Amino acid sequence: MSKKVSHRKGFLFAMKRVLSVQDISCLGKCSLTVALPIISAAGLEGAILPTAVLSVHTWFKSFTFHDLTGEIEPIMSNWQENGFDFDGISTGYLGSFRQMELVEELFRRFDHPGMLKVVDPVIGDNGKFYVGFDPKFAKRMAGLCGHADVIVPNMTEAAFLLDRPCRNGRICEEKYVRELLARLADLGCPRVVVTGVSFEKGKYGAAAWDAETEEFFTCFGEEQPGTFHGTGDIFSAVLFSMLVKGDTFPAAVQMSVDFTVESIRQTLRNPDHIAYGVEFERALPLLFETNARD
């Protein structure tokens, strides 16, 4: 029988511990290789539950894929045996229906008042599903979203979760986004952030809805040219970290926009920048600064 021992309580300056559940793409900047440095820079203890190991992410023409589904249950049972708990659990890329079921089990087993559950429904971008995903997968992901406190889809994922066609073009109307957010909250998640939103040329960012307070807000930054892989994972890792640290919902979304824009801006300074990820490492000082006030 597991004993509930928090190894951190009782220390005045105990760090908060968070868990990130997603794949390890060994090379290519996304999922755990970006989430962990962001969590650490934000001053949180990062634990990981890798769902698969890939040579590179699926944006590349070829990749290896080693599924780790069989490890998930034994790892969570072992954590329970050792008495560990988390201040937050965040999920990203999940490779199968079974993994979504296991994440729901993880949420159940480690739930306690104040434990934040963030789901980034990683299924597609730029109007298309990522390799291996389809409308059936999106429907199951919508079910998982119903178990989260916060979800962070991009505009493509938001449409796919609701089984709607994607709209063309970057600029959209506020009315459309407000309705999208309300329908996403109807999935059962009280706080929704949609990324990749623009109402006018030159401004790009996120729109959010808090169904409990009925508050709608937007956070924009200066629009940067081009599209970059992995920015959604960066955005959700910053949002997750800032919420666990106790930021208000609008402040956490604004920080996530600022950090993502700064990562892209730094990337574009390098004329030989890589297309498969951004130089988010250069933006990490923005997060160090948030620790001074903790």
Interacting residue ranges for ligand PXL, rule: CB under 6 A:
23, 25, 30-31, 54, 57-59, 93, 122, 130, 230, 232-233
Closest distance of CB 276 from ligand PXL, Å: 10
**Residue 165: half-sphere exposure toward Cβ, Cα within 13 Å:** 3
**Matching residue, tokens 């979760």:** 161
3-state class (DSSP) for residue 5? coil
Closest distance of CB 230 from ligand PXL, Å: 5
Q: Tell me the residue number closest to ligand PXL, measured at CB.
A: 58
3-state class (DSSP) for residue 72? helix
Q: Which is nearer to ligand PXL, 185 or 239 (CB)?
A: 239
Q: Which is nearer to ligand PXL, 158 or 185 (CB)?
A: 158
- H or E segment at 45? strand 45-56
Q: Which is nearer to ligand PXL, 132 or 246 (CB)?
A: 132
Closest distance of CB 259 from ligand PXL, Å: 16
Closest distance of CB 229 from ligand PXL, Å: 6
**Residue 127: half-sphere exposure toward Cβ, Cα within 13 Å:** 6
Q: Which is nearer to ligand PXL, 19 or 185 (CB)?
A: 19
For 83, 91, 107, 153, 250, the CA distances from 104, given in Å and listed in that order, are 19, 11, 5, 18, 27
Q: Which is nearer to ligand PXL, 217 or 276 (CB)?
A: 276
Closest distance of CB 52 from ligand PXL, Å: 7
Buried b (16+ CB within 10 A) or exposed e, 54-83: bebbbbeeebeeeebeeebeeebeebbeee
Taking alpha carbons only, the member of 231, 223, 204 closest to residue 34 is: 231
Closest distance of CB 88 from ligand PXL, Å: 19
For 65, 104, 142, 225, the CA distances from 99, given in Å and listed in that order, are 15, 9, 14, 35
Q: Which is nearer to ligand PXL, 46 or 249 (CB)?
A: 46
3-state class (DSSP) for residue 152? coil
Q: Which is nearer to ligand PXL, 122 or 261 (CB)?
A: 122
Closest distance of CB 6 from ligand PXL, Å: 31
